[in-house]
């Protein structure tokens, strides 16, 4: 089950579309959907989590807490709407283009994809693009 939670004024339009897209992406990667919670928040909210749980005193766009067990994908994905807006501006794209990339990024981490090395980041970006294409179909 995929749930969307809001700690800010933002609300996702067409939750069902995104839920189906994420579910299909998980199945396509050979995994099973468990409980995935998306929590949309602001910079302050996510910064607190970053400091408290990861000891990182920086702003970030997404933090994922992984509760996966084997092939069952579960976790909490916190997304700062403010960071996504700023990232979109920096990348010269719209917020509506950047948000799904960040959303699928967290799920891809649960599926075993990494992004610390250049090669891993390239593979992660390729997967993100693949699933973003699926979303607009």
Find out if CATH 2.40.10.10 is the number for domain 2-136: no
The answer to whether 59 and 47 are in contact (CB under 8 A) is yes
Tokens of 63: 């933090």
What pLDDT does residue 115 have?
A: 87
For 17-57, the pLDDT digits (tens) are 999 999 999 999 999 999 999 999 999 999 999 898 888 89
Q: Is there a binding annotation on residue 115?
A: yes
What pLDDT does residue 92 have?
A: 96
Stretches where the chain sits below pLDDT 70 are: 137
What pLDDT does residue 137 have?
A: 62
Q: Is there a binding annotation on residue 42?
A: no
- pTM for this model (two decimals): 0.91
Q: Which are the contacts of 66, defined by CB distance < 8 A and separation ≥ 6?
A: 74, 75, 109, 110
């Amino acid at each position: 089950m995929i749930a969307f939670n809001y700690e800010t004024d933002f609300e996702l339009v067409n939750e069902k579309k995104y839920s189906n897209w994420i579910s299909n992406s998980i199945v396509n990667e050979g995994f099973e959907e468990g409980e995935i919670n998306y929590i949309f928040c602001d910079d302050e909210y996510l910064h607190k989590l970053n400091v408290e749980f990861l000891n990182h005193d920086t702003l970030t766009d997404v933090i994922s807490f992984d509760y996966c067990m084997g092939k069952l994908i579960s976790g909490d994905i916190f997304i700062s709407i403010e960071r996504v807006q700023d990232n979109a501006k920096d990348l010269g794209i719209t917020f509506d283009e950047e948000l799904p990339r960040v959303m699928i990024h967290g799920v891809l981490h649960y599926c075993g994809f990494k992004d610390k090395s250049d090669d891993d980041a390239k593979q992660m970006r390729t997967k993100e693009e693949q699933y973003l294409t699926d979303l607009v179909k």
